[in-house]
Each structure stands twice: as C-alpha cells, then as structure tokens.
Amino acid sequence: MSRRNWDKARKVALLRQRGSESISGHATPPAAFAHHVAATAPRPTATRPTLPEPIVIARWWRNRAGQAVVVRLGDYHGRPMVDLRIWFTADDGVLKPTTKGLSLHVRHLPQLLSAISKALAKARELGLLDEEEPR
C-alpha cells in the first residue's frame, strides 16, 4: 500500500472519529458520518431530462465594447448545469463565449439565488443602488 493510500485511510478514520466540517462551517458529528457515507454511495441512475442544446435564460449588455452577460441552462457530460458567462462580439458580429464565467450544477441554484439576493439587499442598504433602478 502506497503512502498516499495510507494518508487517505488515516483521514477517513479521523473523519469517522471526530466528524467533519462543511464548506459553510457547519460541523458534522461523527454519528452522522455513517449516514454521510451511505448518502454519497453510488445511487441507481435515474432518468433525468437532458437538453439537446443550451437554453438562454437571460442576456444583457455588459458594456459598450460589445461584451454581454449570458445566463444559460445546459448539459455537461450528462449533468444539468447553469452557466453565467461573458460573451464578446467577434469580428464577424457574432457573440462568442469567453473563458470568464461560472458554471455550476443546477442543484446550487437555490444557494446562488440566496447569495445574489443578499448582495442586492446589501448594495441597496449601502446606497450603491437606487431604488428606482430596474430589476
């Protein structure tokens, strides 16, 4: 057994003993670890709808240089994704995507919505946005 495997086995044993901490800072008690392992075990594949082509949800101009922000729903290797990306106007006048953007699994949409709502409320509280601005 290689050193890497021993390190991994040691980390798993520590997680079972002490629990873990999620990215949001919530502690997972050790008793919940067994449930977590069972929850992350491979599940039978359910038939989910797939999108033959991405669906554009929203598009708006970012600046006068021909850049736009595009929000799309699509698939990536069979997984449903939401894609927020900057697109630029090419020399031929067609919008093309840049590498600057954010792609997330659709299960993260509720957290993204919550975060953006909090950012909007904070920006209004600080006076960074006028109340009359379109939503």
8 A C-beta contact, residue 30 and residue 18 = yes
- 115: which residues sit within 8 A by CB, 6+ positions away? none
| Lowest-pLDDT choice from 33-37, 60-64, 65-69, 112-116 | 33-37
8 A C-beta contact, residue 69 and residue 59 = yes
pLDDT > 60? residue 27: no
pTM over 0.75: no
Q: How far is CA 112 from CA 17, 84, 94, in A?
A: 32, 11, 29
8 A C-beta contact, residue 89 and residue 66 = yes
Higher pLDDT, 24 or 84: 84
Count of C-beta atoms within a 10 Å radius of residue 16:
15
pLDDT band at 74 (very low <50, low <70, confident <90, very high): very high
Residues 55-125, CATH architecture = Roll (2.30)
At 121-130, the pLDDT tens digits run: 999 999 998 8
> What SS3 state is found at 9?
helix
Q: How far is CA 34 from CA 16, 23, 81, 116, 123, in A?
A: 8, 19, 29, 34, 42
CA dihedral sign, ordered 53, 54, 57, 63: negative
How big, in percent rounded to 5, are the helix, strand and coil portions of the chain? 35, 30, 35
Domain boundaries, the chain: 3-40, 55-125
